[in-house]
Amino acid sequence: MQETIKENSIQSAADKERGDVTKGIMYELLILAIKIVAIIVVFVGIFTFIFGIFRTADLSMHPAIRDGDLVIFYRFDKKYVASDTIIVTYNGEKQARRVVAIEGDTVDVKNGQLFVNNSVQMEREIHEKTDRYETDVDFPLTVGPGEVFVLGDGREHSTDSRVYGCVPVKKTLGKVTIIIRTRRT
């Protein structure tokens, strides 16, 4: 009889130990799940409020940004200078465009060249002519207060300020900080 009581005590201790181990594993899994959810919430928050991300779908900024590249932009830096690449929207679609003129600059497009403040712009990565489009934008134009004039690097097939005019800085989404190549060409 004492042996039976002893065996039952040993069995009870083993069951208790297994239960404690199971509770410990469940607790650790719960803590891990909470950490994963917290990381996801922080990541989503960062890419919703501080940074933005989108995939390009055209050649308007080639060769700097290619079709299919991921573009990450910082939403809070809107003190643009000429040559910054920024994100704007046109007809509800995001576009990466290069700032070529800022507030107070005079822009003209003639003879296939871009002029800013009566100086021809010698842009290192631009290999196409900069032509005027048949739109309501009249040249020469002076960039107004709180506005920028933007062009795509692929000048011959880019929808940019030659079509929609100067862009209010308040309506821009931010400055491009990272370009991630997704395709090899």
Q: Is the domain of 65 the same as that of 48?
A: no
Q: Is the domain of 62 the same as that of 49?
A: no
Residue finishing a domain among 53, 68, 97: 53
pTM, two decimals, is 0.79
Q: Is the domain of 34 the same as that of 7?
A: yes
Q: Is the domain of 64 the same as that of 84?
A: yes
Distance (Å, whole) CA 113 – CA 110: 6
- The domain total for the chain is 2
**126 pLDDT tier (thresholds 50, 70, 90):** confident
Cα 4 off chain centre by: 71
Concerning whether 9 is annotated as a catalytic residue, the answer is no
Q: Is the domain of 99 the same as that of 140?
A: yes
Q: Is the domain of 16 the same as that of 107?
A: no
Catalytic residue among 60, 83, 158, 161: 60
Closest CA to 126 of 102, 163, 171, 160: 160
Residue 5 pLDDT exceeds 60? no
Check if the beta carbon of residue 75 is closer than 8 Å to that of residue 174.
yes
Q: Is the domain of 62 the same as that of 142?
A: yes
Is 92 a member of any domain?
A: yes
Strands (E) in the chain, as ranges, are 51-55, 70-74, 85-90, 93-102, 106-110, 113-116, 119-120, 141-142, 147-151, 167-168, 174-180
Distance (Å, whole) CA 143 – CA 102: 6
Q: Is the domain of 92 the same as that of 125?
A: yes
Residue 175 pLDDT exceeds 90? yes
Distance (Å, whole) CA 159 – CA 50: 27
Is 185 a member of any domain?
A: no
Residue finishing a domain among 16, 34, 53: 53
- Minimum mean pLDDT among 94-103, 152-161, 168-177: which range? 152-161
**24 pLDDT tier (thresholds 50, 70, 90):** confident
| 55-94 confidence digits (pLDDT tens) | 998 889 988 899 899 999 999 989 999 999 999 999 999 9
Q: What percent of the chain has a predicted confidence (pLDDT) above 90?
A: 68
Residue finishing a domain among 53, 75, 95: 53
Give me the CATH number covering residue 136.
2.10.109.10
Check if the beta carbon of residue 164 is closer than 8 Å to that of residue 149.
no
Provide the CB-side half-sphere exposure for 145 (13 A, CA): 0
More confident residue, 35 or 57: 35
Full domain range(s) for residue 34:
1-53
Distance (Å, whole) CA 144 – CA 102: 8
Q: Is the domain of 60 the same as that of 142?
A: yes
Residue 157 pLDDT exceeds 90? no
